[in-house]
Amino acid sequence: MFTLKNKLKIAHFALLMSVLNFLFFHYAFFTFVFEYVDYHSFSGMVLIISLVVLMLVLNALVFYLICYLSHYVGKFLLILFFNINAVAVYFINTYGVMIDKTMVGNILNTNYAESSSFFSIKLLLYLLILGILPSIYIIQVNIVKVTWKKFIITASLSLLFVLALILANASNWLWIDKNSKTLGALAMPWSYSVNTILFYSDRYKSNEKEILLPDAVVADRQKSVVVLVIGESARRANFSLYGYSKNTNPLLSKVPNLYHFDANSSATYTTAGVKSILEHTDTDKLYEILPNYLYRNDVDVVWRTSNWGEPPVHIKTYQKTEALMPHCKGEGCNYDEVLLSGLKEQILASKKNKVLVILHTSTSHGPTYNTKYPARFEVFKPVCKSVDLGKCSQAELINAYDNTIVYTDYMLAKIIDDLKQLKDYQSAMMFVSDHGESLGEKNLYMHGVPMSIAPKEQYEIPFIVWVSDGSKMVKPNKILSQNHVFHSVLKFLNVQSPVYDEGMSIFK
């Protein structure tokens, strides 16, 4: 038996690192296993014990191989693993996320402003205790190398043992295969290591240059404008328009010509959700998206954003909050209201008959929901003020989130009021969210759970539409997808295109 000494044989060091990695970073992994395996049965206990032994031996074998090839590289990688593991398990334990390929993409595309909102003392403690302290020991320990013959023998015996254990669990292969995505997303450090490789592999394979759609034609000279508001993390269950018990839509509920439809997002994370809203069909390929397509075909397109994660936008007027801030006045300029500053005037200044405005908001993005709206919109109290959502009561968390919906209600009503003043235009406002949000249900928070196992809170979204008097009629639609946006905008602006699908338009 060995202890934490400053001098260890390479095999002992590798095994120690494997044991620490197992103890520190696999609570969520085995919580899942115990939840879905009958541990009272003999076969269930065999599976659990096998997974424990397999994880310990396999990780020890990998660490052994790396450290034998180079002590310095091995130590560097282990330090990197322990620190990234610490951050990863903080998010897994705190928010119930899965570190799969889509989550890796979400992380790599996160901007500083969003990532900084997750900062907490608890995160620092995870990093200090599970990452930095083990790193100090890894730096100080002296690894005693062995002969190449002993290395070959140890590695070979370990590999044979692993193979034997895998064969002994042949009856459990079906269960492991069925749950492989979840198990792989919770196994450290391989969840983010493998999925980062897969993410970049998919990006490399994808067609980075968008596939152009067939040319379109603007069919009339009627002045028309659509304001498409892309919501962030707005789930329809918390909109009173959809029957929610709390009045989160006090303004929209009184607006004439307003329609709301059930809709599902195609993904539970921003980049895929926004892409789906802007594309003509649900596909992994990068086809020309709505703003690029209309801009290329003589429609005036304006994009205003306080968010991120959209596909490449190729238009003239792309405005971030920093560009809008100098011309904005009032308390709302520090929030998503800045996106509405001078919007009516910008539409009126257009020299084109057809105008599309896209507002990409961030209003309901967690974990700091209470910072996403001005104080006067804090209708529901008390609210959660911690980034560690598990420390708040669910009532406090939902109150904070509901206040973001009240603020969304105000902004949408304000957009409609502005559009009503454009007497020469046929106008429409469409609000569609990129995905939903978990607020503690099933101990899950925020979003990003793979669609195959995602709860409905993360994909059931609002699809809200307003039309001006005398403009297009709205079909009695049932459940919609995000792809309905593309065809509905074409229909409203009377842009004729070979890719237009009448069945995918919400307008008659």
Q: pLDDT digit string (tens) for 63-98?
A: 999 998 888 899 999 999 999 999 998 888 888 777
Q: What is the mean pLDDT of residues 189-204?
A: 78
Asked whether residue 163 is assigned to any structural domain, the reply reads yes
Work out the pLDDT band at 428, boundaries 50, 70, 90.
Answer: very high
Give the end-to-end CA distance of the chain in Å, rounded to a whole number.
77
Work out the pLDDT band at 9, boundaries 50, 70, 90.
Answer: confident
Same domain, 365 and 259: yes
Same domain, 194 and 95: yes
How far is residue 490's CA from residue 286's CA, in Å, rounded to a whole number?
19
H or E stretch at 226: strand 224-231
Same domain, 299 and 193: no
Per the CB < 8 A criterion, the answer to whether 333 and 385 are in contact is no
* Residues 6 or more apart whose Cβ sits within 8 Å of residue 477: 261, 484, 506
Asked whether residue 214 is assigned to any structural domain, the reply reads no
How far is residue 310's CA from residue 271's CA, in Å, rounded to a whole number?
6
Q: 312: cis peptide before it, omega within 30°?
A: no
Render pLDDT for 367-408 as a digit per residue (tens, 0 to 9): 889 999 999 999 999 999 887 777 789 999 999 999 999 999
20: alpha, beta or left? (left if phi > 0; alpha if psi -120 to 50): alpha
Which of the given ranges, 34-38, 164-168, 497-501, has the highest pLDDT on average? 497-501
Mean of the per-residue pLDDT values of the chain: 89
Per the CB < 8 A criterion, the answer to whether 484 and 506 are in contact is yes
How many domains does one find in the chain? 2
Asked whether residue 215 is assigned to any structural domain, the reply reads no
CA angle 195, 180, 170 (to 5 degrees): 135
Helix, strand or coil for residue 49?
Answer: helix
How far is residue 382's CA from residue 396's CA, in Å, rounded to a whole number?
6
* Bridge-based pairing state of the strands 258-264 and 445-446: unpaired
Same domain, 171 and 245: no
Range of the domain at 87: 7-205
Can you point out the beta strands (E) in 354-422? 354-360
Position 216 scores a pLDDT of 96
Same domain, 247 and 194: no
Q: Which residue has the tokens 């490789």?
A: 197
pTM: 0.73
Per the CB < 8 A criterion, the answer to whether 438 and 458 are in contact is yes
Asked whether residue 274 is assigned to any structural domain, the reply reads yes
Asked whether residue 104 is assigned to any structural domain, the reply reads yes
Q: What is the mean pLDDT of residues 196-222?
A: 79
Which of the given ranges, 155-159, 201-205, 365-369, 421-425, has the highest pLDDT on average? 421-425
Position 39 scores a pLDDT of 79
Asked whether residue 218 is assigned to any structural domain, the reply reads no
